[in-house]
Every structure is written in C-alpha cells, then in structure tokens.
Amino acid sequence: AQSVTQLGSHVSVSEGALVLLRCNYSSSVPPYLFWYVQYPNQGLQLLLKYTTGATLVKGINGFEAEFKKSETSFHLTKPSAHMSDAAEYFCAAHGQNFVFGPGTRLSVLP
Amino acid sequence: ETGVTQSPTHLIKTRGQQVTLRCSSQSGHNTVSWYQQALGQGPQFIFQYYREEENGRGNFPPRFSGLQFPNYSSELNVNALELDDSALYLCASSQGRDGTEAFFGQGTRLTVV
C-alpha cells in the first residue's frame, strides 16, 4: 500500500527566505505525485503535480518540486516566502486514489 | 473557484443520528471521490463513484455509504454517527476513472456532539 510522509508538521520561515517542505512516498511503482495547499476553512487547491516527463515541476505562486526516484522524494520549494504562503501543505500520491501525507503547516514570519 | 460545490458548509449532529452530505461535480466530470479530513490530519479516502457505480473504497465501515446520480452529483451518507466522525468532508470531482485531474470542493464541516 502506498504511504506518504511529510517531515515536519510545522515549518516556520522568515518572509523572503527559502521554503522547503519535505515529502517522501512509499511505493514499488512511482505514483503520480501532487502538492496541495489548504487555507483555513477551505478545500484543497492544487499547487503542482508530477505525472511523467520532466522531474522538475513548476506550479502556481512560484512553487516548484523535484521528483527524485532514487530518494522516493518530492520536496516542495519556493525561493522567497511571502506572508500569503502561510497555510497547510499536503503532499499526495495517486495510484487508484489519492493518499495524502499528514500535512505541514507553514508559518511565515515578518 | 473549482466548480465543485458542497452543501451544507457546516452542520452539527448528535451521536447516533444520520447525516447526508451533498456534492455537485464540475461540469463535464463523471467521477466523484469523498475524503474525510480529521482535525490536524491529511484527508483519508472514503470511496469513489464513477458513472453512478462505486469504483473503490477506503478503510471505512459500511455505515459510510454513497450515491452518484445521473447528473454525476453525489451524496455521502453516514449512519449511527460517532464522535470520531467529526471532520471536514471533502468531495473531489474529475473526468475519467483514474481521477488524477481532480478538483476539490470547499468541504462540509461536520461536528458530532
């Protein structure tokens, strides 16, 4: 069965600093991989996804993620954090359905 | 705005009661999936409906049931509510059986007291 882990339930960065949110998946067959963002009391918004092809994937709001099969990782990065990036971030794998990680809450400090 | 609407947005039920949550899928989508997101956790897959038939189910008891209608809207029914059923219930619609191009609704916040 697939599983997704996210290292760090809470990450704090200063405004303008690099954002790095970690995600590892467990699957014998690399699944499709996704990052979603969730703002308080809202649903999930797709940031980016990896299906096939280029391993560096660019998404909305300046986020990108790199699929590394050898490390079974799909870490999310953004060069410069903005206050509006403060939210909950979920990594997910999709085989037959979405399997989500536990989430990482990103705080951006002024 | 994803075009996926869920109703109601919030509701409070008493333990032992039954509840029905509704989801209108995005135009052109024929697949609806339901997820339960407990507080502080990631969403958990409940089940998926494709063209009115169940197409996969997660590790949830039979008191969680669903329907998909000819217009591809969907209902999630939960019988004999338990306190642990308190959660945000998310609906996702997509086109096709694999469901990867999914759009999520805003969710229904269910509180069981």
What is the C-alpha to C-alpha distance for residues B100 and B95, in angstroms, rounded to an integer?
A: 8
What is the C-alpha to C-alpha distance for residues A94 and A101, in angstroms, rounded to an integer?
A: 12
Average pLDDT score over residue span A88-103:
92
Higher pLDDT, B99 or B15: B15
> Given this model, what pLDDT does residue A42 score?
85
Residue range B55-73, pLDDT digits in tens: 999 999 999 999 999 999 9
> Given this model, what pLDDT does residue B31 score?
93
Residue range A58-92, pLDDT digits in tens: 999 999 999 999 999 999 999 999 999 999 999 99
Q: B2 falls in which pLDDT band (50, 70, 90)?
A: low
> Given this model, what pLDDT does residue A54 score?
87
Which of A32, A41, A90 has the CB atom closest to B100's CB atom? A32
pLDDT at B97 over 80: no
Give B54's contacts in chain A (Cβ within 8 Å): none
Give B109's contacts in chain A (Cβ within 8 Å): 41
Query: Helix, strand, or coil here: B40?
Result: coil
Residue range A38-50, pLDDT digits in tens: 998 888 999 999 9
Give B103's contacts in chain A (Cβ within 8 Å): 46
Residue range B34-59, pLDDT digits in tens: 999 999 899 999 999 999 999 999 99
> Given this model, what pLDDT does residue B96 score?
78
Which of A41, A45, A100 has the CB atom closest to B43's CB atom? A100
> Given this model, what pLDDT does residue B1 score?
59
Which of B40, B45, B109 has the CB atom closest to A97's CB atom? B45
Q: Is B7 left (phi over 0), alpha (psi -120 to 50) or beta?
A: beta
DSSP string, chain A: --EEE-S-SEEEEETTS-EEE--EEE-SS--EEEEEEE-TT--EEEEEEE-SS-SEEE-GGG-EEEEEGGGTEEEEEESS--GGG-EEEEEEEESSSEEE---EEEEEE-
What is the C-alpha to C-alpha distance for residues B15 and A44, in angstroms, rounded to an integer?
A: 28
Query: Helix, strand, or coil here: B64?
Result: strand
> Given this model, what pLDDT does residue B113 score?
97
Q: Which residue in chain B has the smallest CA separation from A33?
A: B100
Q: Which tokens sit at B9? A: 């947005």
